[in-house]
């Protein structure tokens, strides 16, 4: 009998509602759920990948271990016994920190992992904890912690009501919103212009979002902080500052005014090429709009001044009164409030990495340090690694170095259902069931959503006998590592979920969500300050000392001279049909025109005598790749762009489709020594490279 199943697609941040038509265990079609109050029937091409993952013949369903004769399927009992024995032995011999953990981006897309992975970290008691956060959004968390008292109190653009949307380094039409959960983003952005509003896009590339932008300005990579300071300078110089009710609980206004006095639009123009007149015009329009919001994403986060950028973006919204009010930057009120379950306070620099002394934040070390911590001998050296749904060989800087290092690590475990570029080095792989065999409630992305909603998705298919959910795997690992007695009895994530819902703002229950399969609309974002603040005095810190001091580093950038050996700036990019590296085994998503190309401006191509689609060699300090060039006026002169997540040509990778579209990895060029020195986030954008047409 044909049936319909309703759930959220949990492959990206948009959490679109979908309707799956199925019969006798077979999926017939996947469509947008028109009754979902948040996504309103919209889906993107990625939704079909849920079916492709479920049916993927390369997906592991039983534990495997590496042997001299290749991968061998083993029982769960043997897998857990071996892992516990090896990890406990290594920690007994070399100390707690000899075992490291890396968690990839999909960790936050899965309910079971979200609610159980922390227990594994507590059990291991290691300081060597790494994640994709420090190659992504760490500066957002850092700025929120320093200004508002909590790393997850991240302001979200209220795009459903704003009249002026200023975007720096973000491409919401490709990401469906990023740290801005906004399904049906195309219509949401179109509505801004329909009501007479304006969208200004500032980016070194004319991204897909240019389609809805009112204006676009090219900017030199890593110079965004100069522009943001020039905007703040203009706000004070032209008496455009108006905090409104925020003035009652905001400190540091005078400090920021004094700081900004020297950061003129003329200085910004010199650094990034956007004229001083345009900067002043944009500032005036922003300040005089009925409502406005400034938003910066990957382009301003994954650079050497990512922390400064996110601080200054928040400051602009606050200084113009476009903060905690409709149409500005606001704070969601999720049904399951992650902020109540995670502590803020002193969570920075409590310890440092062993080799480079990089600071901890949120109990994590910068992943740019992972390879050297494995490679460098001595007390505290990492001897074993546990990865959870991550592929750092393709997603962290100087991935080729990490690949070499992992070949000789003492012991490695991966919780993943693919043998990919990273997990191929594991001694044992523990595969969880896939999305459609698991229940889901989105804890993370409801925290970053442009509207308050709640939706629980039951599993569509029962997991096959002999397979395990992610939460079962984490709980049994903890049980074995802590050597608990008695019978192991896993607790499904619904227990914690139900408690979190009941004690949340709306006092919902899991049963109520189950009776509303399309989701529950909880309303627009509402003003919540100062109550929502987590600072001790319930006040906004507009000029945290740690950011003010970091401006000295920015001043040194004024003396930057062009690098004649590596004359180009490298930036990344994303396609709507990509999601990092983890959807590249879907033929439906990968077919068509080759997306793994290097974008280069026609003038630069002419100076190098390059032709379209010509294979070129891109080199940086740490490595090189060969990749077809795509000549386009959509990229600024002196800048090149390579997409993220490719590079599937490693031996031993068991991803049949991905290998057919292998491409080149941008992270064979990015440099683990290039970081935002303030936050520790990897500086993936702005890496200096050179181009050679001669591949000999």
* 312 within 8 A of 228, measured Cβ to Cβ: yes
Please provide the distance, in angstroms rounded to a whole number, between the alpha carbons at the two ends of the chain.
Answer: 61
Q: What is the DSSP letter of 229?
A: H
Per-residue pLDDT tens digits for 202-252: 999 999 999 999 999 999 999 999 999 999 999 999 999 999 999 999 999
Residue 563 pLDDT: 74
Q: What are phi and psi of 259, to 5 degrees?
A: -60, -45
Q: Where in the chain is the domain with CATH 2.40.40.20?
A: 561-692
Distance CA 17, CA 453 (A): 11
Is 90 exceeded by the pLDDT of residue 485?
no
Distance CA 254, CA 635 (A): 39
Per-residue pLDDT tens digits for 312-340: 999 999 999 999 999 999 999 999 999 98
Provide the mean pLDDT of the chain. 96
> What would the mean pLDDT of 257-284 be, rounded to a whole number?
97
Residue 578 pLDDT: 87
- Tell me if residue 199 falls in helix, strand or coil: strand
> What would the mean pLDDT of 107-114 be, rounded to a whole number?
93
DSSP H or E run through 571: strand 568-571
Q: Which two tokens stand for residue 52?
A: 């492709």
Residue 342 pLDDT: 73
Distance CA 572, CA 596 (A): 11
Q: How far is CA 103 from CA 132, 386, 628, in A?
A: 7, 8, 32
* 269 within 8 A of 279, measured Cβ to Cβ: yes
Residue 560 pLDDT: 72
> What would the mean pLDDT of 632-640 be, rounded to a whole number?
98
Distance CA 472, CA 490 (A): 6
Q: What is the largest CA-CA distance in the chain?
A: 73
* Beta strands at 428-430 and 411-415: parallel, antiparallel or unpaired: parallel
Q: Where in the chain is the domain with CATH 3.40.50.740?
A: 64-134+362-505
Name the pTM for this structure: 0.97
Residue 643 pLDDT: 97
Is 80 exceeded by the pLDDT of residue 187?
yes
Is 70 exceeded by the pLDDT of residue 695?
no
Scanning 618-682, the segments in alpha helix (DSSP H) are 656-660
Q: Which two tokens stand for residue 554?
A: 């920015």
Residue 124 pLDDT: 97
Helix/strand number for the chain, H first, E second: 23, 30
Is 60 exceeded by the pLDDT of residue 164?
yes
Per-residue pLDDT tens digits for 645-686: 999 999 999 999 999 999 999 999 999 999 999 999 999 999
Distance CA 665, CA 632 (A): 21
Residue 431 pLDDT: 98
Q: Where in the chain is the domain with CATH 3.40.228.10?
A: 138-334+529-552
> What would the mean pLDDT of 109-114 be, rounded to a whole number?
94
> What would the mean pLDDT of 485-508 be, rounded to a whole number?
94
Residue 559 pLDDT: 79
Scanning 571-625, the segments in alpha helix (DSSP H) are 587-590, 602-607
Confidence of residue 369 (pLDDT cuts 50, 70, 90): very high
> What would the mean pLDDT of 396-425 be, rounded to a whole number?
97
> What would the mean pLDDT of 495-510 be, rounded to a whole number?
95
Is 70 exceeded by the pLDDT of residue 425?
yes
Residue 696 pLDDT: 57
Among residues 37, 13, 596, 124, the alpha carbon closest in space to that of 384 is found at 124
> What would the mean pLDDT of 286-295 be, rounded to a whole number?
98
Class of domain 138-334+529-552: alpha beta
Cis peptide before 412 (omega within 30 of 0): no
Residue 693 pLDDT: 87
Residue 581 pLDDT: 83
Q: What is the DSSP letter of 424?
A: G
* 368 within 8 A of 682, measured Cβ to Cβ: yes
Q: What are phi and psi of 603, to 5 degrees?
A: -65, -40
Share of the chain above pLDDT 70, in %: 99
Q: Quick one: fold of 561-692?
A: Barwin-like endoglucanases (2.40.40)
Least confident of 15-19, 421-425, 481-485: 481-485
Q: Quick one: fold of 64-134+362-505?
A: Rossmann fold (3.40.50)
Distance CA 266, CA 50 (A): 50
DSSP H or E run through 101: strand 99-103
* 214 within 8 A of 236, measured Cβ to Cβ: no
> What would the mean pLDDT of 506-527 be, rounded to a whole number?
97
Is 90 exceeded by the pLDDT of residue 351?
yes
Confidence of residue 582 (pLDDT cuts 50, 70, 90): confident
Q: What are phi and psi of 359, to 5 degrees?
A: -80, 145
Residue 484 pLDDT: 86
> What would the mean pLDDT of 623-627 be, rounded to a whole number?
97
């Amino acid at each position: 009998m044909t049936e319909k199943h309703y759930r959220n697609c949990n492959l990206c941040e948009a959490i679109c509602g979908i309707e799956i038509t199925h019969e006798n265990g077979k999926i017939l079609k996947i469509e947008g759920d028109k009754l979902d109050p948040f996504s309103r029937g919209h889906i993107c091409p990625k939704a079909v990948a849920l079916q492709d993952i479920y049916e993927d013949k390369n997906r592991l369903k039983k534990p495997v271990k590496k042997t001299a004769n290749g991968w061998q399927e083993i029982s769960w009992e043997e897998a857990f016994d071996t892992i516990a024995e090896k990890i406990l032995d290594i920690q007994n011999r070399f100390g707690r920190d000899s075992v490291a953990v890396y968690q990839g981006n999909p960790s936050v897309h899965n309910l079971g992992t979200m609610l159980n992975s922390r227990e594994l970290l507590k059990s291991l008691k290691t300081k060597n904890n790494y994640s994709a956060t420090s190659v992504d959004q760490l500066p957002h968390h850092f700025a929120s912690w320093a200004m508002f008292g909590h790393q997850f109190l991240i302001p979200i653009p209220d795009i459903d009501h704003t009249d002026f949307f200023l975007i720096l380094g973000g491409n919401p039409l490709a990401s469906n919103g990023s740290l801005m959960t906004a399904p049906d983003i195309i219509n949401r952005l179109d509505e801004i212009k329909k009501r007479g509003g304006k969208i200004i896009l500032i980016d070194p590339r004319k991204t897909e979002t240019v389609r809805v932008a009112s204006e676009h300005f090219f900017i030199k990579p890593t110079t965004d902080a100069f522009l943001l300071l020039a905007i703040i300078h203009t706000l004070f110089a032209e008496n455009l500052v108006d905090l409104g009710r925020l003035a009652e609980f905001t400190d540091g206004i005078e400090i920021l005014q004094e700081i900004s006095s020297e950061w003129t639009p003329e200085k910004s123009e010199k650094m990034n090429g956007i004229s001083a007149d345009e900067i002043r015009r944009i500032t005036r329009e922003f300040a005089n709009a009925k409502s406005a919001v400034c938003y910066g994403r990957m382009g301003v986060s994954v650079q050497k001044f990512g922390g400064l950028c996110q601080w200054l973006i928040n400051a602009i919204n606050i200084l113009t009164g476009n903060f905690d009010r409709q149409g500005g930057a606001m704070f969601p009120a999720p049904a399951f409030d992650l902020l109540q379950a995670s502590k803020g306070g002193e969570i920075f620099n409590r310890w440092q990495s062993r080799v480079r002394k990089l600071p901890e934040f949120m109990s994590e070390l910068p992943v740019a340090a992972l390879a050297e911590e494995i490679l460098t001998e001595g007390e505290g050296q990492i001897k074993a690694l546990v990865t959870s749904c991550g592929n750092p060989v393709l997603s962290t800087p100087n991935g080729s170095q990490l690949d070499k290092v992992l070949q000789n690590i003492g012991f490695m475990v991966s919780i993943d259902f693919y043998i990919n570029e990273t997990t191929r080095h594991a001694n044992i792989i523990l595969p969880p069931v896939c999305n459609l065999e698991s229940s889901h409630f989105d804890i993370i992305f409801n925290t970053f959503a442009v509207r308050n909603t709640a939706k629980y998705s039951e599993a569509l298919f029962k997991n096959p006998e002999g397979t395990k959910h992610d939460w079962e795997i984490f709980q049994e690992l903890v049980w074995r590592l802590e050597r608990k007695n008695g019978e192991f009895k896993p607790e499904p994530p619904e227990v914690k979920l139900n408690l979190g819902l009941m004690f949340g703002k709306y006092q919902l229950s899991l049963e109520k969500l189950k009776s509303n399969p399309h989701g529950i609309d909880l309303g627009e974002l509402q003003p919540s300050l100062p109550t929502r603040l987590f600072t001790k005095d319930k006040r906004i810190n507009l000029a945290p000392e740690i950011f003010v001091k970091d401006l000295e580093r920015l001043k040194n950038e004024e003396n930057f001279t062009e690098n004649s050996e590596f004359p180009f700036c490298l930036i990344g990019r994303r396609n709507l049909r990509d999601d990092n590296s983890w959807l590249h085994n879907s033929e439906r998503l990968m077919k068509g025109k080759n997306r793994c190309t290097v974008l280069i401006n026609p003038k630069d191509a002419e100076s190098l005598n390059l032709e379209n689609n010509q294979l070129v060699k891109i080199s940086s300090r740490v490595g090189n790749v060969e990749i077809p060039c795509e000549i386009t006026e959509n990229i600024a002169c002196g800048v090149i762009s390579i997409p993220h997540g490719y590079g599937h040509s490693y031996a031993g990778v068991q991803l049949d489709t991905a290998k057919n579209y292998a491409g080149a990895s941008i992270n064979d060029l990015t440099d683990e020594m290039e970081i935002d020195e303030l936050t520790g986030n990897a500086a993936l954008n702005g890496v200096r490279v050179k181009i050679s047409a001669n591949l000999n």
